[in-house]
Amino acid sequence: MYSKDKMLITGGHPLAGEITVSGGKNTAVAVIPAALLCDAPCTIENLPDIDDVHALIEILETLGAKIDYVPGKYMTVDPTNAKGYHVPYKLTKRLRASYYLLGALIGRGHHAEVAYPGGCDLGSRPIDQHLKGFMALGADIDDRGGMVYAKADKLVGGDVFFDMVTVGGTINVMLAASKAEGNTIIYNAAKEPHIVDLANFLNSMGARIKGAGTDVIRIRGVQKTHACTYTVIPDQIETGTLMIAAAATRGDVTIHGCIPTHMEALTAKLLEMGVRVTENDDSIRVRPQGVQRAVNVKTQVYPGFPTDLQQPMTALLCMANGVSTVCETIFDQRFKHLDELRRMGAKIRLVDRTVLIDGVSELYGAPVTVTDLRAGAALIVAGLMAKGVTEIYETTYIDRGYERIEEKLRLLGADIRREKI
Ligand code: EPU
């Protein structure tokens, strides 16, 4: 990936003011393929206008769906003439979530040919549990030449027991099972907010899913689905990134339109650090309060500390007082941001999957390169804290998942801009 621009941040400006968070990226990338399961046009609101969404539009159009998209307002997906079932690598390589086309197409027409997904390189990311789930519903799977071929004469509900908690696997089986014959039970399901959101979307088109948000999800397959309008939940990770950026710059920021209960793991850590966090029904205010203390963080499945905030949190802790540890338990190689943070003066060491951070009193602007979406968020946080100018290369990764991030940060007083390379 080669970006045509770089981001320039002059650090040291405390963020201050109010900002509204966008719709959830990881919800959007599940809900858009899920629209293929609708037997009529459906309308989705509050989608973030990000590259992952643009890539999914292209994929759905290639399959024959008609899409009317007004960024910031709505997307109407009319899948009635979507006869396609083949999604080549040139399309799937643009985003990880392209694997949801498998579940959606199997559920829709019992036939899918989808190339293995691209997306952020966070170490090995197998999809064996997804495939196991499809097979439990009666699909024949052939996995060769970088493609997954899935076909079923009849899709029949079954029991799926995941060997580990998998967000993608849970979503994919929900998609495939929604219109299967009979009942499916997913055991050891993921509980992330976007799992619940997807279940609500599918239910609003007539699916019958119960238990989303717990570790056992029950799906009674339906034959027909109907038109619906659905609003996706706010982005939990964008909210967290803004909370961390506010703390990092010792600013005073109120984030509107978020769901504070989704943020509990981060809020608890910020409070432990000595940051003031106050919550209202749909807003969170982050303010400084004396010295920020080092803390220990361990990523876990929801409601634990999200792996998607591990990298920005690591950046924040680079300037906390004392030695922090950040243990990544979900992905084995989500550490590519560490070298870049070191360029900026961070004192960090990686031991197995734990980052040891010796807080420093200053970071310095430097040229750095983004290697994955949340590494991008980490470098933005570091840039906002650092003395001098940070030049961030490979911004394409950031645009995949954060809507107008520099515009939002500028509104809060950050000195941040883009320049063509
Ligand atoms: N795993 C397997 N086999 C499988 C599925 C998963 O071994 O069949 C392993 C993975 O290798 C990983 C762990 O299980 O070690 C968890 O993976 P999971 O399936 O939960 O993650 P994912 O579906 O690949 C989604 C998000 C990620 C987010 C994780 C965890 C999307 C498109 N991706 O990934 O989001 O980090 O869940 O919450 O929703 C991001 O937004 O930056 C991002 C990477």
CB 132 less than 6 A from any atom of ligand 1: no
Report the alpha-carbon distance of residue 154 to residue 134 in Å, rounded. Answer: 12
Which of 53, 124, 125 gets mutated to test ligand 1 (max ligand atoms within 8 A of its CB)? 125
CB 169 less than 6 A from any atom of ligand 1: yes
Coil vs helix vs strand at 394: coil
Residue 349's CB: how many other CB atoms inside 10 A? 11
Is 120 marked active-site? yes
| Residue 99 confidence (pLDDT) | 95
Do 5-21+234-420 and 25-231 show the same overall fold?
Answer: yes
Q: Each residue of 300-344: pLDDT tens digit? A: 999 999 999 999 999 999 999 999 999 999 999 999 999 999 999
Fold of 5-21+234-420: UDP-n-acetylglucosamine1-carboxyvinyl-transferase; Chain (3.65.10)
Q: Each residue of 133-185: pLDDT tens digit? A: 999 999 999 999 899 999 999 999 999 999 999 999 999 999 999 999 999 99
CA torsion, points 60, 63, 64, 65, in degrees to nearest 10? Answer: -30
CB 26 less than 6 A from any atom of ligand 1: yes
CB contact burial 244-260 (16+ within 10 A = b; e otherwise): bbbbbbbbbbbbebbbb
Report the alpha-carbon distance of residue 313 to residue 355 in Å, rounded. Answer: 11
Distance of CA 227 from the midpoint of ligand 1 (Å): 30
Which of 162, 166, 196, 333 gets mutated to test ligand 1 (max ligand atoms within 8 A of its CB)? 166
Tokens of 119: 């997306």
* Residue located nearest, by CA, to atom 11 of ligand 1: 125
- DSSP character for 212? B
Report the alpha-carbon distance of residue 387 to residue 394 in Å, rounded. Answer: 21
Q: Do 260 and 239 touch, CB atoms closer than 8 A?
A: no
CB 320 less than 6 A from any atom of ligand 1: no
CB 173 less than 6 A from any atom of ligand 1: no
* Residue located nearest, by CA, to atom 28 of ligand 1: 308
Using 70 as the pLDDT threshold, list the residues of the chain that sit under it: 1
Distance of CA 98 from the midpoint of ligand 1 (Å): 13
CB 120 less than 6 A from any atom of ligand 1: yes
Domain-wise residue ranges, the chain = 5-21+234-420, 25-231
Tokens of 257: 């339109």
| Residue 19 confidence (pLDDT) | 98
* Residue located nearest, by CA, to atom 24 of ligand 1: 168
CB 7 less than 6 A from any atom of ligand 1: no
| Residue 147 confidence (pLDDT) | 94
Encoded amino acid at 309, one letter: L
Q: Do 65 and 82 touch, CB atoms closer than 8 A?
A: yes
Distance of CA 27 from the midpoint of ligand 1 (Å): 13
Distance of CA 168 from the midpoint of ligand 1 (Å): 6
Report the alpha-carbon distance of residue 361 to residue 342 in Å, rounded. Answer: 14
| Residue 3 confidence (pLDDT) | 78
Catalytic residue among 38, 42, 120, 228: 120
Q: Do 171 and 198 touch, CB atoms closer than 8 A?
A: yes
| Residue 4 confidence (pLDDT) | 86
Smallest CA-to-CA distance from 346 within 299, 393, 383, 394 is with 383
| Residue 1 confidence (pLDDT) | 58
Report the alpha-carbon distance of residue 202 to residue 378 in Å, rounded. Answer: 34
* CATH classification number, 25-231, choose in 3.65.10.10, 3.30.70.360, 3.40.50.720, 3.40.50.880: 3.65.10.10
* Residue located nearest, by CA, to atom 22 of ligand 1: 168
